[in-house]
Amino acid sequence: MKLIGVTLAAAILAGCSADVNSSDGAAPQPPVPATPVPTTSAPTVPAAGGDPFVVQEVDVFDAPWAMTFLPGTGDLLITERTGKLHLRDAGSGQRVEVDGVPDVAVAGQGGLGDVLAGPTFANDGAIFLSWAEADAGVSGAVVGRARLDTSDDGASLADLEVIWRQTPKVAGNGHFAHRLAITPDGEHLLVSSGDRQTKQPAQDTSNTLGTIVRLTLDGEAAPGNPLADDNGAAAEIWSWGHRNPLGLEFADDGTLWSSEMGPEGGDELNVIEPGGNYGWPEASNGSDYGGGEIPDHADGDGFVPPQASWTPSISPGSLMIYSGDLFPDWKGDAFLGALSGEALVRVDLDGTTAGDDEIFSMGERIRAVEQGPDGAIWLLEDEGAGRLLKLTPA
């Protein structure tokens, strides 16, 4: 495949102190235009403060939100919240903008969201996308499936169809969530659905706000979902009582983990149980904006407590469970991109238990975290800096 573009190269330093100011992932300042560096290979430098990795800047984007490595090639798909999808060649670093991306509602936290290669990608090029759509003054998250076609002339999406919609659509531009994960057996698609800043609907199982849903790859409610036989409940619900779950990832042992933004404090890392109620807005380890108190998670309250939580907020915008060999001491650990915290956060995992965390200050809002085919850790900074970074052992 012939790709058109340039590789941008420069090196940055990453510190080790935590800066976790309370925030709900508020929009950053307007982006500063990046200056292309006309080289084809980027130098790497150790992170400051003795961090166990070096940081290499490999590209720059305007408003990056998510990325996924494509099976078999190592090529990288990157979404921009403003509605662009990029395909970056693993070998040359060149990239093209993918044609055929759907129209998206770009406002507040809304826009083009997650991207994921389907389990049959090697055979049919299937990918899944999430985005925000608007209709008559209200909006909601949707998930679509398409085929990625590539040629010497570029790349495009074909046969795009919407397979799932968040219900109901509401006013406002926050808490779409719409992160995607596919079960290890390749049979089902999980989608995180934020509460759209409406709070109480997260405790109402007749809708899908504030939930994580489990679907077939065609977007239908998956057989065996916990509320399938509950008259009046949405059959696609897998868990509920969520606020803004912006990370969704399976560990190698099949455990489903989610990272979730709390209000003022109380950001969470959760093990997702089928039929679990995670408490929002009835329970949170944070406080409401303006000082309103919310009961903390407590034994016997009927809600599933987080395995880890953070106050002040770090604003977790993504989640990756590491399974590579490049950082052997970190195998099986969780990595969260922190927005207001401007950090990469590592949490030691042991089965379904979260242990100590380690916070690596990155100096910019970290929007997405992914593991590369060789075990390197890749980061996307939020719009403003917008850099694509590769972390390798120091």
Terminal CA-CA length for the chain:
33
Residue 188 annotated in active site: no
**Residue where the block lists tokens 């933004």:** 261
The closest of 60, 52, 57 to 346, measured between CA atoms, is 52
Long-range contacts formed by 218-221: CB under 8 A, 24+ apart: 218/163, 219/143, 219/145, 219/162, 219/163, 219/164, 219/189
Identify the H or E element spanning 161: strand 154-165
Q: Please check whether residue 258 is in contact with residue 230, taking contact to mean a CB–CB distance below 8 angstroms.
A: no
Q: Please check whether residue 303 is in contact with residue 278, taking contact to mean a CB–CB distance below 8 angstroms.
A: yes
Q: How many CA atoms lie within 13 A of 205 on its CB side?
A: 22
Identify any residues that bridge with 138 across adjacent strands, giving them in sequence order: 135
> Distance (Å, rounded) from C-alpha 208 to C-alpha 203?
10
> Distance (Å, rounded) from C-alpha 154 to C-alpha 168?
37
Catalytic residue among 175, 178, 188, 242: 175
Q: What is the set of active-site residues? A: 175
